């Protein structure tokens, strides 16, 4: 699994000009599922992200996690994180999981964050969405379970 994690002041997902999900301070997580990913990857990644110390403390040091600040998470499925652009001009998505597996693991990841007491909002799987992100910092990280 791959995740682009962005610390935000707020974030939202709209479909056909209607907001379907939104959060205040927390993280927007763009989540890609690869063909070999498992539920164990979803669990590990949710644990990692919930506890990432990427929020400032009173001394402005990155010492606080999403759990520490009581922040929210907006999880958006994004198969294009598995786009391979090494050859030609059109990305290949052959390493992305098929929709059935991707949907299952997207839901598993979101549920695992909820078990950590993180309020979770989601996009709509396979929908064409407008994602608005008010990146704070900016702080943006890339996590990949294949690089453990």
Task: Establish whether 78 is a catalytic residue.
Answer: yes
How far is the C-alpha of 103 from the C-alpha of 96, rounded, in Å? 12
How far is the C-alpha of 67 from the C-alpha of 75, rounded, in Å? 16
How far is the C-alpha of 111 from the C-alpha of 90, rounded, in Å? 34
Task: Establish whether 140 is a catalytic residue.
Answer: no
CB 72 within 8 A of CB 26: yes
Task: Establish whether 80 is a catalytic residue.
Answer: yes
Which residue among the candidates 78, 109, 122, 145 is catalytic per the annotation?
A: 78
CA distances to 24, 36, 73, 126, 146 from 111, rounded to whole Å, are 19, 20, 12, 18, 21
Which residue among the candidates 6, 38, 55, 80 is catalytic per the annotation?
A: 80
Give the dihedral sign, CA 89/94/95/96.
Answer: positive
Which residue among the candidates 6, 55, 79, 145 is catalytic per the annotation?
A: 79
Cα of first residue to Cα of last residue in the chain, in angstroms, is: 11
Residues involved in catalysis: 78-80
């Amino acid at each position: 699994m791959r995740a682009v994690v962005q610390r935000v002041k707020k974030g939202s997902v709209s479909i056909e000009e209607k907001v379907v999900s939104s959060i205040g301070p927390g993280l927007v997580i763009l989540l890609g599922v690869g063909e070999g990913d498992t539920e164990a990857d979803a669990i590990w990644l949710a644990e990692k992200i919930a506890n990432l110390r990427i929020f400032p403390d009173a001394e402005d040091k990155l010492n606080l996690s999403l759990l520490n600040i009581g922040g929210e998470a907006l999880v958006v499925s994004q198969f294009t994180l598995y786009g391979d652009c090494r050859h030609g001009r059109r990305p290949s998505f052959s390493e992305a999981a098929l929709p059935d597996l991707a949907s299952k693991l997207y839901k598993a990841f979101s549920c695992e964050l909820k078990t950590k007491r993180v309020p979770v909002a989601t996009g709509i799987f396979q929908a064409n969405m407008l994602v608005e992100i008010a990146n704070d910092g900016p702080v943006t990280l890339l996590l990949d379970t294949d690089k453990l």
